[in-house]
Amino acid sequence: MRTIVGCLGVLLAVHVVGFNEHITEIGLADLRGEMHMGHDESLWFTSIYEAFNIASMAFTPWFYVTFSLYRFSLFVTALMAMLAIPLPFMHDLTAVYVLRAVQGLSAGCLPPILMTVMLKYLPAPIRVFGVGGYAMSATFGPNLGGPLEALWFEHVGWQWLYWEVLPLAAVALGMIAYGLPRDPMNMARFRNFNWRGFLLGVPSIVCVVTVLYHGDRLDWFRSPLITHLTFWGGALFIGFLVHEWFHHSPFFRIQFWGNRNIAMSMITLVATLMICGLMAEIPSAYLMEIRGYRPVQAAPISLIVALPQLALLPLTAALCNIRRVDCRYILAFGMSCMALAAWLGSWLTPDWVRDNFYIIQILQAIGQPTVVIPVLMLATMALGPADGPLISGMVNMLKGMANAIAAALFAILLRRREQFHSAMLLERHGDNATSLQGFGNPIGGQLAGTSPDSAHVGRNTLEVFHTFLHEQSTVLALADIYVVIMWICIFFVVLTAILPGRVYPPSAPKPLPSAS
C-alpha cells in the first residue's frame, strides 16, 4: 500500500505538469495581455517550453536509473514547482524564456518516471490499471486544462495560471517521499555515459519541435530560420538514430521497431494523440473565433471529455485485464467511436453553438480511453522489466512529439483550407454578381441609416461582407479537418485488424505444487 501511495504521487505530479502545460497554453491570450508580450513572443513562450519538455523525455530513463527513481522524482517535481513562483514577476522576456526552458526540462522528466513506476512497482494483477493511470496523462489532464484556466483567471487571478502547480506539487512531493522505494544511486554509470548520443539528440529534438511550432507562422522554407533548423536538426537526428542503433548502452533501443506490436503501437499512439489534440482544438477554435466565447464559457466542452475519464479509464483497464478479452477489438471499437465523432463534426455550420458539440465530445470521451490503454498494452506487455527504461523514453518522446505535430497540422490545414474556401467563395460571388443583383444589397440596406456618407457606408458594407466570408471559410476549413480525422481513424481500424499480434495482461505467478 505504501508503494501504491508513492506511485499515485508520481501520477499526481504528472497531472500537475499537464495542467501547467495546458493552462498556460490555453490562457496564452490572457498572459500576453498581462505580461505585455506580442503575438510572436508568446509563440516562443510556448515552443521553448515544449521543445525542452520533449527533449528531456527521451533521456530521462538514464538519469533516473543513475540517481534512483526516488531522488530524481523528488528533485524534478520540486524544481518544476519552484520555477513557477518568480514567473509572474519577470519583465525581461529572455529571463522568462530561460525559466520556461528549465521548467519544461524538469516537467518532461516525470511522464517516463510514471511509466516506469507503474510497470516496475505495481503487482502483476493490477499492472494494467497502472497503464490506465499513465493513460490519464494523455486523456484526463489535457481536457481539464481549459476549465482550470477559466477557474484561475476568472475567479482567482492571472498569476495563478503559473502558481496553480504549487499546492498539488506539494501533495505529490509528500506522497513520493513517503511511498517510493529508496533505491541506491549508481554514480559509476557516468563512466559509460553516452555523451555523443546526448549531444546529438538534445539539439536535434529541440530543432525539430521548434520547426513544427513556428513553420507555418514563418511560411516554412521561405524562412531562413526554418530552413536551417530543419536541415541541421534533421541531420543531427539521423545521426542520433544511427548512433543509438550501434551503441552498446543506448538511451533507447531502435531495434524495438522490429517488433510488430511495438511498431504498430508506436504509430497508433502518435496518431491517437494527434487526433485527440485536433479534436480538442476544433471546438475551442470555433467557439472562441466564430462565436466569441471566453474559456469559461467553453469549459463544459472540455469537461464532457475529462470527467468521464475518471470512470471510463478504470473500466477499460478492468476489461483489458480479462484474459479472454482481446485488446485489439477494444482498440478498433475506440477508433470507430473517434471516426463517428469526426463524421458528425464534418456537418459543422456557422449556426452551431456549444450544445451541438456534446454528442461529438461524448463519443470522444468513450473513444480516448478505449484506444490509449490497448495501445499502451501492445507496447509494454510483451517486454521484460529490463526493457522498461529503453522504451519509456521512446514512448514519451513520441507522445510529446504527437502534440507538436498536431499543432503544426492544425495550423497548416486551417490556413490552407480557409484560404481555399475563401478564394472559392469570392470566385463564386464574382461569377454570380449579375444574377445576385435582383436580391438587392441587404447589408448596405441595414447600414444605410448609420451614416449620411455613402462612401463610409460602402466601406462598412464591404467590411461586414468580408467578415461573413471569413466566418464561412473558417467553418468549412474546420469541417474539412474533421473529415481528415475521420479517414485517419478508419485507416487505423483497418491497420488494427491486420498488423498487431495479440498480447495478454500480466497475471500473478502460480504457486508451485507442494512436494506432498
What pLDDT, on a 0 to 100 scale, did the predictor assign at position 231?
A: 93
User: Is 451 within the bounds of a domain?
Assistant: no
Residue 57 lies in a domain: yes
Helix (H) or strand (E) holding 91: none
How many angstroms from the chain centroid is the CA of residue 168? 21
pLDDT at 507: 59
Which residue segment(s) compose the domain that 247 sits in? 1-179+196-416
* Cβ 410 vs Cβ 213: under 8 Å: no
In the numeric block, the cell 454570380 is attached to 432
Q: Is residue 484 part of a domain?
A: no
What would the grid cell of residue 400 be? 510529446
Domain CATH code at residue 288: 1.20.1250.20
- In order, the DSSP letters of 104-168 are HHHHTTHHHHHHHHHHHHS-GGGHHHHHHHHHHHHHHHHHHHHHHHHHIIIII-TTHHHHTHHHH
Phi, psi (5° rounding) for residue 38?
-80, 175
Residue 149 forms part of a structural domain: yes
Would you say 348 and 506 are in contact if contact means Cβ atoms under 8 Å apart? no
Joined grid coordinates for residue 163: 502558481
Cβ neighbours of residue 310 under 8 Å, at least 6 residues apart?
140
Query: What domain count does the chain have?
Result: 1
CA 462/CA 377 separation, integer angstroms: 57
Neighbours of 434 (CB within 10 A): 8
Q: Is residue 77 in some structural domain?
A: yes
Kindly state whether residue 298 falls inside one of the protein's structural domains.
yes
Name which of 138, 141, 137, 135 is nearest 302 in CA terms. 141
| Residue 496 domain-assigned (yes or no) | no
pLDDT averaged over 10-residue windows placed end to end, the chain, 516 residues: 84 85 75 76 85 87 84 90 87 86 89 82 75 77 75 76 86 88 82 85 90 88 90 90 82 76 79 86 86 80 85 86 83 90 91 89 89 80 61 79 87 90 82 63 62 64 76 91 92 80 61 42
Domain-embedded: residue 95 = yes
Amino acid 280: pLDDT: 84
> Alpha carbon of 417 to those of 195, 220, 445, 472: distances in Å?
44, 17, 32, 11
